[in-house]
Each structure stands twice: as C-alpha cells, then as structure tokens.
Chains A and B, each alone.
Chain A
Amino acid sequence: MNEHSRATEWDETTELAAVADPSFEDFFEREKAELYSVLCVVTRNRLEAEELTQDAFVRLLERWDRVGKMADPRAYLYRTAMNAFRSGYRRSTRAAKRALRGTQSDDAIAEVDATDAAMRALAILSTRQRAAVIVTDLLGFSSEEAGRILGIRASTVRMHVSRAHAALKDAMADE
C-alpha cells in the first residue's frame, strides 16, 4: 500500500513532458539488463534482483500510458525498483520463498567478489550506501534525484556516497 501511495506521489509531482512515446516493449528491452545488473550489485542476490526487476517492469506496464510520456521514465523505473526493495514486507516474502526452495549459495556473486575489488568494497557497505553510490555515480542521477529515487534526503545521499567513495578508494588503492 505504501509502495503504491509513493508511486502515486511520484506520478503527481513529476513533470510530464511531451516527448516521443516509446513502446513499453522497446523500453523493457533497452533497460532490463542494466536494471538487473544494478540490482545484483545493490542486493547482492541474483534471485532477488530478478524478482525486483520483473516486478518493477510489471508496475511500469500498468502505468505505461502515463509513465511512457514522462521526460525520464528510467527514473520512475529505478524508483519503483528501489521502493520495492525497501519494502520490508516484500523482502520477507521473497525470503520465505527462498526458504521454501531451500537455501542456495549465490556462486555468481561469490565469483564476482573473488575477482572484483570494487564489489568486495561495496559488500562491506550498507545496502542504502551501495544503492546511493550506484544511483548517483553509475546511473548519473543528482543527489536530489537520487534522494527521490531512494526515498531519503539529498544530504543523506551525499553522506552515503561519501562513505562509499572512501571504501572504493581504498579498494582501488589495494588493487
């Protein structure tokens, strides 16, 4: 319910610009790989990243008549995915599903951890710190935009990013 109300707020406060209306299908194909891989880094769990990716696109599809006309539907996509990730209820639901399937070690995450210093550096950060640095540095959103996407204040985003930069700097120095 909270997630829905947050999405509604975003709809109402986001300026709708008269840009070309790309089809949802094109948008999905263009964005799915990046969203999935970003969520892999943030969540450090491929199953969760896949679930969040699918769910985020489902929500966009349901509102595509409006979202497709936004100046930046990509921002809405990431906000939706991050909203879903923050939701404790959804996390617990997915955890329950994983428990039903039995615990699986995520070999792909471990493999990247073993070969990528930045991934190891990000692993020691909080999830919110990881998300903040990904949304700002990698996806190129400003602190204000990142704050809207992550549901936190811009100053908090900058604080998280600063902490993440310190960790990444140490990691790159050790490489």
Chain B
Amino acid sequence: MSEYRDVLERTRSRFQVPTLALEEVLRRRDRRRRRQRVVAGAVAVAIAAGIAWAGTTAIRGEQQIPIQPGPSLLRTYRLLNVSDGSEAPFPAPEGGSWFRFSPDGSDVIVVKDDADGRPQLFRMGADGSDLTQITPVPEWASQADDPAWSADGRWIAYSGLTPSGHREIIAARPGGYHPPRAGLSWGKLDAGAPSWSPDGSRIAFVGRGGIWILPIEYYNSNDSITAGRQRLILSEGSSPAWSPTGAEIAFTSGQGSGRRLAIANADGSHVRAITDTTSDHPTWSPDGGTIAYDVWSPDGHVAVWLMDPRTGQTRQLLNDASVESWKDDGTLLVSTYPGGS
C-alpha cells in the first residue's frame, strides 16, 4: 500500500457527495436514448434517401439501443387527492410516460414507443380505454414527444422530429389531424416541452437551453393554426409551465444539483427563485393555487412537494415519487417508485 494513500484519502474525503440520485441517472439515460433515436432516425433517413437514389426500395428499420430496466426501476402511477390524501389507481398502459389530461379530464395523451421503438403520441380515455396511436404523421414528424393540451382542448402541441432531422414544436388535433401549417417553431432549436398560455395565444417552449415564446394565431373559424415569430425570453431554463392566470411562467433554472424552481413574468421579466433545494418539473394546479414539483434529497431520493405560490408555503406529499400532471378535478397524477409512500 502506497505511503501516499492515506494523505490522498484524506484529501478525497473532504468533498462531500452532492445530490447524485439514481433517478437523475435514469432521466439522463432516457434523454440519451432520445438523442440516439434522433441520430438513428437521421441516419435512417439518409440511408433511405441513398437507397431511393440508387433505385432500391428495401429499407430496413432503424437500430435501437436495447435498454432493459431492472424490476426495481419500474414505476407505478396513481391519482392523489392532495386535500384529503385519498388516492386512486391510474390505468397507465405499459411503457407509457408523460401522461397529460385533457382540460375536461375525459381524455389523456400519453407518450409510448411504437412497434419500431420510436416515441409516439397515443390518446386514451381517462379510464384507460380506447388506447389509440395518433402519430406519426410523416409529413410533419416521424417521432413525437412532450405533448401539451391547449386550454380549450382543441389542440395538442408536441415536440416532433421533423423530416429535416430537427425537433420542432408541432400542432395537431387531439385526434391526430395535422393542419396545413402544423410546424410552429423553426430554426433547428431542438425544441421541446411546450406549454400553452391559458388563452391559447402563446406557447412557451425550450430550445437551445433557453425558453422561447411562440405567438399563435387561428384562422378558418379556429380550424387552422399558424405561429408568428418566436422570441427568446429566458436565456437559460427548462420545464416551462404557464400559470392558469397567464401572468407568469414557472420553470427550472440551473443544472444538476443546482436546479431550482423559478417564476418569471410571462414576458421573461422579474425572474425570482422559489426553491432553494434541488428541484425540478414545476406543474400548476388547474386553479393556480398550488405548484407540484420534484425535490431531490442529498441521500439520492426524489419526492413530490407542493407549494402555495402566493405564500411560498411548502409541504412534502410523497417520498420516492415524481410529479406527472394535474387533472381538472384537482387530483394529481404521480409516478411512484418501489418503496414510495
């Protein structure tokens, strides 16, 4: 044993491990998988174009990275009444994620892999019935993720992998119809995580590490949609969530263990931090009286917390669980990990 081992061990031990949670590793892995799929998709498109140019029609499916989560990593979903603590099971289809309830609570849009392992949007009843795939629409996007309902329930915005190989914000009807100008964002921003303003006039989204705003206009008696010039309002941020009043946007600021929740005015001004621990994924309740969010503890666990944004009062709701989305009746859909309570 080296005579220097002890002195090096003493130096090393002076650095205390920050919040390094297994859940963050899983999230990173999922993001990596998505990026790999984007690359694989782009390669597949290039190969397909090459084959077509050569006059050959045999096109094979894209390669996927096989990922096998261990049984201890599987999530379960449940709906919680945050007032009285009662709960109900939620019929999540196998492999589903990013569940988003329609404004009237009757339907759910969910992200789920298709037969080729590409994320797509599915629609189902809130009771789990009639699971129906609504993307891809190849003219607009070969993959779909991050769906968000407009407040009137007439539109879905999502992050789609376009034929150009970039992620853009795409508009569709909840049934899957894509209007003539479905592509809303532009500029190769790797756009994702859209959130509608309550009046449907704007969409906040993440692109190139910042938060942007898309002005939205409707025509033909609101049957079609188009977007104006997008504008960067925050140079750094993720997970934007428009408040039900329309006046504010909650978002995640920072990276790694430095992630904090913040609120900005809807034009990006007056940014103020609202948490001082590692936290992520702010989600407004339908009445605007509560923000549900994830908190990462130094011992590596994630918990669901609630905050009253008017008073700043917080309380922990669940251990070993993550926020999914609110339902119109004020219940909160959460995903729990084994041992969560």
Q: Which residue of B lies closest to A165 (CB)?
A: B4
Interface flag for A149 (CB, 8 Å): no
Stretch from B7-15, B40-48, B85-93 at the A interface: B7-15
Using Cβ atoms and an 8 Å threshold, which residues of chain A touch B65?
62
Residue in contact with B4 in the complex, picked from A23, A100, A133, CB distance below 8 Å: A133
Interface flag for B115 (CB, 8 Å): no
Contact yes or no, B7 A118, CB < 8 A? yes
Contact yes or no, B29 A50, CB < 8 A? no
Contact yes or no, A138 B5, CB < 8 A? yes
Contact yes or no, A41 B20, CB < 8 A? no
Chain A's interface: helix, strand, loop or mixed, by majority? helix
Residue in contact with B70 in the complex, picked from A23, A115, A140, CB distance below 8 Å: A23
- Give complex CA distance A122, B12 in Å: 12
Interface flag for A24 (CB, 8 Å): yes
Contact yes or no, A38 B20, CB < 8 A? no
Contact yes or no, A116 B29, CB < 8 A? no
Residue in contact with A37 in the complex, picked from B4, B13, B258, CB distance below 8 Å: B13
Interface flag for A107 (CB, 8 Å): no
Assuming the contacts A47-B256, A100-B236, asked whether A118 and B18 have C-beta atoms less than 8 A apart, the reply is no
Using Cβ atoms and an 8 Å threshold, which residues of chain A touch B24?
54
Assuming the contacts A41-B15, A116-B14, A119-B11, asked whether A136 and B22 have C-beta atoms less than 8 A apart, the reply is no
- Give complex CA distance A47, B65 in Å: 28
Using Cβ atoms and an 8 Å threshold, which residues of chain B touch A41?
8, 11-12, 15
Contact with A along B223-259 (1 / 0, CB 8 A): 0000000000001100000000000000000111110
CB distance from A97 to the nearest CB of B (A): 7
Q: Which residue of B lies closest to A134 (CB)?
A: B8
Q: Which A residues contact B (CB, under 8 angstroms)?
A: 23-25, 28-29, 32-34, 36-38, 40-41, 46-47, 49-51, 53-55, 57-58, 61-62, 65, 97, 100-101, 108, 112, 115-116, 118-119, 122, 133-134, 136-138, 140, 165, 168, 172
Q: Which B residues contact A (CB, under 8 angstroms)?
A: 1-2, 4-5, 7-18, 20, 22, 24-26, 28-29, 32, 65, 67-68, 70, 72-73, 209, 235-236, 254-258, 300
The list of the 9 closest CB pairs from A to B, nearest first, reads A33-B17, A37-B15, A137-B2, A40-B15, A138-B8, A118-B11, A37-B12, A58-B28, A137-B4
Q: List 7 A-B contacts (CB under 8 A).
A: A37-B13, A37-B15, A50-B18, A61-B26, A62-B32, A116-B11, A119-B11
